Amino acid sequence: MSSHSFVVYEEQVNQINAALLRMIKKAEAKCALLVDKDGHLITRQGFTQTLDTTALAALLAGSFASTKEIARLVGEPEFSVLFHQGKKDHIHVSLVGERCILAVLFDDRTTIGMVRLFAKETGDRLKEILTESDNKEEPAIDPEFARSAGSKIDDVFKE
Amino acid sequence: MVTINYAFREISCKIVYYGPGLSGKTTNLQYVHDRIPSKSRGDLISLATEADRTLYFDFLPIHVGDIAGFATKFQLYTVPGQVFYNATRKLVLRGVDGIVFVADSQKAKMDENIESLTNMYENLRENGIDLSEIPVVIQYNKRDLPDICSIDELQKALNPEGWVCTEASAVNGTGVFDTLKRITKLVLEHTKRETAVSPDGVPQIGAASAPMPERVDVSSQRAEPVYAQTVATVPNGGSWTQANRSAVAVEEPPPPSGQGADALISSNKITQTGIAHRATPIPRDVVFARQPSRRIRSRQRSFWDRLFGWLTGR
């Protein structure tokens, strides 16, 4: 908690989901993930049932962080787009605002150009939605939270 | 940075295992992965070299389950311990919510422990993270080996801040879950204190004023190490170096002043947290993101009942 907690509200996730779905449809991509820079998955849309999205989110964030460091070493402030090309599936990763990463998985039914075009458009829209979230004050957590967490943790972490 | 997702009612926290190379960070995660039921965890992902040394990080997601209406998740990361991987080590620390420092208890490894700890301070500072703002647990690992330092020696050399400490032998699992339980509870306690404010700004019962037996002031550190009872803040934000480490090592801690944990629970330091929350009330309509679950609503009612009872003296 070096800075404020990153809070996402239900109405914002609904708006984000709608924007992602629109992009998937227009770009004919397979799925899209919105991840924060620390590797937490915010939301996902499309065919993600077979994917381990939690691990994918952490790895995407790690990959993006290391690319940013590479950029700094070569004198760039940031590489805002990353592209991984596979045999069948490809991933387009782009920065959304200051705190999030948009990853779009697609195959040969579409082209990198289409994905890039719509990912940029969607990224701008997501940035607006997330800025609204940053401007809100953080709500309170139930005071019972940590107390009930203690017993739950003992339960889960028993040897 | 804790991520709170009100759409999915999820709280996600990042815990990083830090420490020198071969101190047992990955072994800790492997043991947790092996022992936790598969429904409560994801796969362990290791970005390692061919010689099984961590290259970037190991990652293990844990789903604790529903806590007060929130699906609570911990993401456990390790850093590469080897000195020359500092660039990637620094990246893993970004957005950290709690740290487990895994120290190697062997006498020959003391310098590496100190170097790694100093490096942790530097990397946190470069990431803009104030060490006094996040909980830390220090794990003295490899207690099963011969030729190890005593806990007193390790405490003096590595733990002048008075963090919670645990003893472990990660390779056979001793102390691994003890460490994990302590850091997760501290992180959630911290999360609660960061965010707990009632609708009209009155501190929540059980929030800032709740007993916190594991948190005492650094100035009351006892002469002998108090395992798993002391957590303290880093006074200078982590500018502790090897040079003043030696000073700490020879300096005797102040004698017990009679102020135990109980006395300090009601100290100003903790009360001030409540005052700080009161000073920044959150409007009623944004609390719980407008759509609290039934469970939380019922808890809110019970809070108001309790408050009414307290006001009327019943």
Tens-digit pLDDT profile for residues B302-313: 555 665 666 665
Closest partner residue to B205 among A7, A143, A146, by Cβ?
A143
Q: How far apart are the CA of B251 and the nearest CA of chain A, in angstroms?
A: 31
Report the range of poorest mean pLDDT among A37-41, A113-117, A120-124, B118-122. A37-41
Using a CB-CB distance cutoff of 8 angstroms, which residues of chain B are in contact with residue A143? Answer: 192, 196, 204-207, 210, 299, 303
pLDDT at B152: 94
Using a CB-CB distance cutoff of 8 angstroms, which residues of chain B are in contact with residue A156? Answer: 36, 40, 62, 64-65
Closest partner residue to B195 among A14, A141, A156, by Cβ?
A141
d(CA B72, CA B43): 17
Contact B105, B145 (CB under 8 A): yes
Beta strands in chain B (DSSP E): 3-5, 10-18, 45-48, 54-67, 70-78, 98-104, 136-141, 164-167
d(CA B62, CA B185): 14
Q: Is A151 on the interface with B (CB under 8 A)?
A: no
Q: Quick count: other Cβ atoms within 10 Å of Cβ B277?
A: 23
Q: Is A62 on the interface with B (CB under 8 A)?
A: yes
Closest partner residue to B75 among A58, A69, A156, by Cβ?
A58
Q: What is the mean pLDDT of residues B24-31?
A: 95
Q: Is A86 on the interface with B (CB under 8 A)?
A: no
Closest partner residue to A62 among B3, B42, B56, by Cβ?
B56
Secondary structure of residue B244 in the 3-state scheme: helix
Report the range of poorest mean pLDDT among A67-81, B37-51, B268-282. B268-282
Q: Is A63 on the interface with B (CB under 8 A)?
A: no
N residues, chain A: 159
Cβ contact, residue pair B210, A147, below 8 Å: yes
Report the range of poorest mean pLDDT among A116-130, B13-27, B157-171, B185-199. B185-199
Closest partner residue to B181 among A5, A39, A153, by Cβ?
A153
Closest partner residue to B64 among A10, A12, A156, by Cβ?
A156
Q: CA nearest B182: which of A150, A43, A117?
A: A150
Contact B94, B126 (CB under 8 A): no
Q: Is A107 on the interface with B (CB under 8 A)?
A: no
pLDDT of residue B101 exceeding 90: yes
Q: Which two tokens stand for residue A86?
A: 């596979």
For helices B151-158 and B110-126, give the axis angle rounded to 10 degrees. Answer: 30
Write the pLDDT tens digit of every residue in A112-149.
999 999 999 999 999 999 887 666 666 666 666 766 77
Q: What is the mean pLDDT of residues B156-164?
A: 93
What region, left, alpha or beta, does residue B197 occupy, with left being phi > 0 and alpha being psi -120 to 50 degrees? beta
Using a CB-CB distance cutoff of 8 angstroms, which residues of chain A are in contact with residue B43? Answer: 52, 55
Closest partner residue to B194 among A5, A12, A158, by Cβ?
A5
Q: Is A20 on the interface with B (CB under 8 A)?
A: no
Cβ contact, residue pair B6, A10, below 8 Å: yes
Give how far the C-alpha of residue B28 lies from the chain's centroid of Cα atoms, to the nearest Å.
16
d(CA B53, CA B256): 43
Mean pLDDT over each residue of chain B, to the nearest integer: 72
Q: How far apart are the CA of B156 and the nearest CA of chain A, in angstroms?
A: 27
Using a CB-CB distance cutoff of 8 angstroms, which residues of chain A are in contact with residue B77? Answer: 58
Report the range of poorest mean pLDDT among A51-65, A90-104, B14-28. A51-65
The amino acid that residue A81 corresponds to is: V
Q: What is the mean pLDDT of residues B251-264?
A: 41
Give DSSP secondary structure letters for B18-71: E-STTSSHHHHHHHHHHHS-GGGB---EEEE-TTS-EEEEEEEEEEEEEETTEE
Using a CB-CB distance cutoff of 8 angstroms, which residues of chain B are in contact with residue A140? Answer: 195-199, 204, 282, 287-288
Cβ contact, residue pair A147, B206, below 8 Å: yes
Q: Is A144 on the interface with B (CB under 8 A)?
A: yes
Cβ contact, residue pair B188, A146, below 8 Å: yes
